[in-house]
Amino acid sequence: MRTARLFSTTLILLLISALFLPSGSAQDYTRWGLPESAIARFGKGTLTDCVYLPDGNRLAVLSSIGTWIYDVRTGEELDLITEPFTEDMRLSPDGKTLAASSDGSVYLWDLQARKLRKVLVGEANRTYLLAFSPTGETLAGGNWNNTVQLWDLHTGKPLKTLKGHKDLNTKATSIRFITYSNDGKMLASGGWEDGTIRIWDVETGQLLQTINERAKRIYSVAYSPDSRTLASAEEDAKIRIWDVDTGALLKTLTGHTSAVNTMTYSPDGKTLVSGSWDKTIRFWNASTGKLLKTLTGHTEVVDTVIYAPDGKTVTSMSYFDGTIRFWDAETTKLLKTIVGHTGSFGRAVAFSPDGQMLAHSGTGDDTIPIRDIQGGQLLRTLTGPTDTVLSIAYSPDGRNLVSGNWDGHIRVWDVDTGALLKTLTGHEEGVPSLVYSPDGATLISGSWDNTIRIWDVDTGQPLQTIIGNITELEPSQGVRAISLSPDGQTIASATDEKVIQLWDVHTGKLKGSLVGHTNEVAAVTFSPNGTLLASGSDDATMCLWDVEAGKLLNTFKEPTRGSVLSVAFSPDGRILASGALEVIRLQDTFTEGNTVTLTGHTTWVRALAFSLDGHTLASIDEDGVVMLWDMTEVTWQ
C-alpha cells in the first residue's frame, strides 16, 4: 500500500520564510504546495482566521488547506504554506514568536532563529484557542475541558489553570474566547454555553469578577485600550459595555439585527467596530455608543474584524462568503476585496465529455465555475437565480450543463454562453444527484424528497416519477445518489434505508434491491460495462456488487475515516476510487488488495470524477476545494 502525503515534516520553516523573506513575484498559486500525484488545486480553502504581520504590509490568512500570505497593498498572493493549523495561530506582540495550536498541542517557533523553541504542555493538554499577553511574557490557552491554561513563555512551564466555567446543566464545556486586558494584568474568558464573562487576575489566578449574562450566548469580548471597560458581542444582536471593576452594565449598543459575532477597538479607543450575522459591519462611537456607520458588502456572516497596526484600515473576513475585505477606517470606503476562498457545500464536480473543461460547485456564492483543464484558467462562471449547488452534469454532447440545487430546482445552462436556458421544477427538496441518458434525450434526478424523476430534456417536462421508499425496512429520508447503467436501462439509487434499489427506466418498477450495508448508503456508481456496481456508505465501507446476480462481491473497509461519501470507476473499469474524510482510496479492481491512498484534502471528499481518457481524477471536498490528480503518476504496489 502506497500513501501520497501532503504535509512535510519541515512544517513551520516554510511559514517563517514566507513571513520574513522578501516577497516574490506572483505565481500560479493553483499549483503551490501540492501533494504527490496532484497537478492542480482550485479554491483556497475556507477561511479560519487572519492576522497582520508586524510590518503591517502583509496579512497571514488561515484556511482549511494552509496559511496564505497576502500583500495588503495589492491583495496579491505571496505564498501558501500547506501546513494548516486547524485551531489557532498567534504572533507575539514583538513579532518574534509564532504560537500555533494543532491537535491539542501548542508549538512555539523562534522566528529569528527559524526553529522550534518549545512545545507547551498543560494540565488539560487539549488547547485549541490562544492569546498572547501584551508584553509577550505569558500565553493563555483555552481548552476543551473548559479551563484556561497560562504558560510562562521564558521557561515554557505552566503557571496556573483557571477553572470555573460551566454550562447551564453544570457540565463542562469548551472555552469560546480569551482576551487579555491591554495592560496585561487581567484576562477575560467565556464559555460556549454558560453565558458568563469571567475576569481573572493574571498574576494570582484569582477570579476578580463574574459578569452574568446567562440568558444570552456571548461570542466575543474586547477590552477598551485603557482596560477599564469591556465590550461583549452577544447572541441577541446587542453589544454591552461593562465596567471591569464592578461588573456593572454601562450601556447597550443596538442596531444589529442578528447576533454580533466579532468586535475590535481602534488603537486610540475612540471607535468600536463590530461584525454580525446580519452581514454588516458597524462603527460605533466608543464613548457615547452612537452608531456612526453601517457597512454592507459581505453576503454572509462577518466572522472577524481587525484593525491594521497603523489604525488606518479595518479588515473583515467572512467564512461563508469566502472574502476578505479592506476598509478605510476614516472614510469607511471599501479599498479592496480578496476572493477565491471557497465557502462550504462543495458537493459536485464534472468533466466535460471531451475532457477539456471542468465544472464544479462550492464557490461560496452559489455560482458554477468552468475551468480549462490544461491551463487551469477560469473560462466562465454560470450565474443566475441559483441556490446552493448540490449536483452538476454535462449533456453527452457537452453543449449544456445542468445543476441540482438546494431549493429543489434543476437549472439548465448553455455552456458556451453561460445563459440559463430553463428551470425544471417539481422536486420539493434538494437535488443531490443528476445523470443524463446516453442519448441525451432525458435527464434523471434524485431528490431528498424521496423521488426520482425522469425529464424530457427538450420540453423540460417530467416524464415519470419514481417513489424511492418502497421497502419495509424503515422509512426513507430521501434519495442521496443515483447512477444510470451504461445501456440506459437501469437506475441505481442510494437512500437512507441502507438499501440500494434498482429501477427499470421505462416502467419505473423495482427490479431488485441490494442489501448488505449496515448504515445509510451515500453513493452509487455503475462500472463502465454495467456488470458491477460500487456503493459507499455511512457504515465506513465501500461495497462492490454483481448487478445481475444481486450478489455482494467484496467489501472494502475505510480504516480510520468513517463514511464513504463518493465513488467513481475509471473509464477502463480498472480503478475504483472512493472518497472519505481527508482521503481518497484507489482500489485496483483487477488485483485484489492493490490500493493507493491520496491525501491532500482536509475535510470530507464529497464527489469524484474521472476524465474520459482516465488520466485525470477530479475530487471536491466539503470546503469546495477541487484537486486534480495525475493517474499516470500513481504507482501500484
Amino acid found at 209: Q
Q: Same structural domain for residues 449 and 411?
A: yes
Residue 572 forms part of a structural domain: no
Residue 363 forms part of a structural domain: yes
Average pLDDT over residues 33-51: 88
Rounded to an integer, what distance in angstroms lies between the CA atom of residue 516 and that of residue 278?
Answer: 46
What pLDDT was estimated at residue 28?
82
Residue 310 forms part of a structural domain: yes
* Residues 340-362: tens digit of each pLDDT: 887 667 889 999 999 899 999 86
pLDDT tops 60 at residue 84: no
Residue 19 forms part of a structural domain: no
What pLDDT was estimated at residue 121?
77
Confidence of residue 25 (pLDDT cuts 50, 70, 90): very low
Rounded to an integer, what distance in angstroms lies between the CA atom of residue 10 and that of residue 33?
Answer: 13
C-alpha distance from residue 475 to each of 400, 470, 471 (Å):
36, 9, 8
Residue 234 forms part of a structural domain: yes
Pairing outcome for strands 595-610 and 2-4: parallel
250-254, long-range: CB < 8 A, 24+ apart? 251/289, 252/289, 253/284, 253/289, 253/291
Rounded to an integer, what distance in angstroms lies between the CA atom of residue 110 and that of residue 132?
Answer: 15
What pLDDT was estimated at residue 332?
94
Confidence of residue 168 (pLDDT cuts 50, 70, 90): low
What pLDDT was estimated at residue 22?
37
Confidence of residue 114 (pLDDT cuts 50, 70, 90): low
What pLDDT was estimated at residue 288?
94
Global pTM value: 0.83
Q: Same structural domain for residues 346 and 460?
A: yes
* Residues 390-414: tens digit of each pLDDT: 999 999 999 999 999 999 999 999 9
What pLDDT was estimated at residue 8?
30
Rounded to an integer, what distance in angstroms lies between the CA atom of residue 359 and that of residue 380?
Answer: 10
Q: Same structural domain for residues 227 and 327?
A: yes
Q: Same structural domain for residues 388 and 362?
A: yes
Residue 399 forms part of a structural domain: yes
Residue 19, Ramachandran bin (φ over 0: left; ψ between -120 and 50: alpha; else beta): alpha
Q: For the ranges 12-16, 179-183, 468-472, 559-563, which has the lowest average pLDDT?
A: 12-16
Rounded to an integer, what distance in angstroms lies between the CA atom of residue 352 and that of residue 143?
Answer: 48
> To the nearest whole percent, how much of the chain has pLDDT over 90?
60
What pLDDT was estimated at residue 637?
65
Mean pLDDT of the chain: 86
Q: What is the DSSP string of 465-520?
A: EEES---SSS----EEEEEE-TTS-EEEEEETTSEEEEEETTT--EEEEEE--SS-
What pLDDT was estimated at residue 240?
94
Decide: residue 217, CB within 10 A, 0-12 exposed, 13-18 middle, 19+ buried: middle
Strongest mean pLDDT among 361-370, 371-380, 529-538, 628-637? 529-538
Rounded to an integer, what distance in angstroms lies between the CA atom of residue 387 and that of residue 237?
Answer: 27
Confidence of residue 126 (pLDDT cuts 50, 70, 90): confident
Rounded to an integer, what distance in angstroms lies between the CA atom of residue 77 and that of residue 91?
Answer: 20
Confidence of residue 544 (pLDDT cuts 50, 70, 90): very high
Last residue of a domain, one of 427, 451, 467: 467
What pLDDT was estimated at residue 173?
57
Q: Same structural domain for residues 256 and 324?
A: yes
Q: For the ranges 5-9, 60-64, 232-236, 594-598, which has the lowest average pLDDT?
A: 5-9
Rounded to an integer, what distance in angstroms lies between the CA atom of residue 146 and that of residue 192?
Answer: 9
Q: Same structural domain for residues 297 and 413?
A: no
Q: Same structural domain for residues 374 and 405?
A: yes
Last residue of a domain, one of 339, 359, 375: 339
Q: For the ranges 2-16, 228-242, 297-311, 481-495, which has the lowest average pLDDT?
A: 2-16
Q: How far apart are the first and last CA of the chain?
A: 6
557-560, long-range: CB < 8 A, 24+ apart? 558/585
Residue 330 forms part of a structural domain: yes
Q: Same structural domain for residues 353 and 430?
A: yes
Average pLDDT over residues 223-250: 93
What pLDDT was estimated at residue 23?
36
Residue 243 forms part of a structural domain: yes
CATH number, position 302? 2.130.10.10
What pLDDT was estimated at residue 471?
47
What pLDDT was estimated at residue 364?
59
Rounded to an integer, what distance in angstroms lies between the CA atom of residue 501 and that of residue 217?
Answer: 45
Q: Same structural domain for residues 282 and 366?
A: no
Last residue of a domain, one of 339, 355, 389: 339
- Strand, coil or helix: 18: helix
Rounded to an integer, what distance in angstroms lies between the CA atom of residue 59 and that of residue 52?
Answer: 5
pLDDT tops 80 at residue 13: no
Beta strands in 308-461 (DSSP E): 313-318, 323-328, 334-338, 349-351, 357-360, 368-372, 378-382, 389-394, 400-405, 410-414, 420-424, 433-436, 442-446, 451-456
Q: What is the span of the domain harbouring residue 292?
A: 216-339
Number of domains in the chain: 2
Q: Same structural domain for residues 327 and 350?
A: no
What pLDDT was estimated at residue 330?
94
Q: Same structural domain for residues 449 and 347?
A: yes
What pLDDT was estimated at residue 215?
57
* Residues 425-467: tens digit of each pLDDT: 999 999 999 999 999 999 999 999 999 999 999 999 999 999 8
pLDDT tops 50 at residue 3: no
Cβ atoms of residues 274 and 262 within 8 Å: yes
Rounded to an integer, what distance in angstroms lies between the CA atom of residue 139 and that of residue 162?
Answer: 13
Q: Same structural domain for residues 349 and 448?
A: yes
Distance of CA 449 to the CA centre of its chain: 26
* Residues 183-213: tens digit of each pLDDT: 999 999 987 777 789 999 999 999 999 988 6
C-alpha distance from residue 636 to each of 257, 557, 578 (Å):
57, 19, 16
What pLDDT was estimated at residue 19?
44
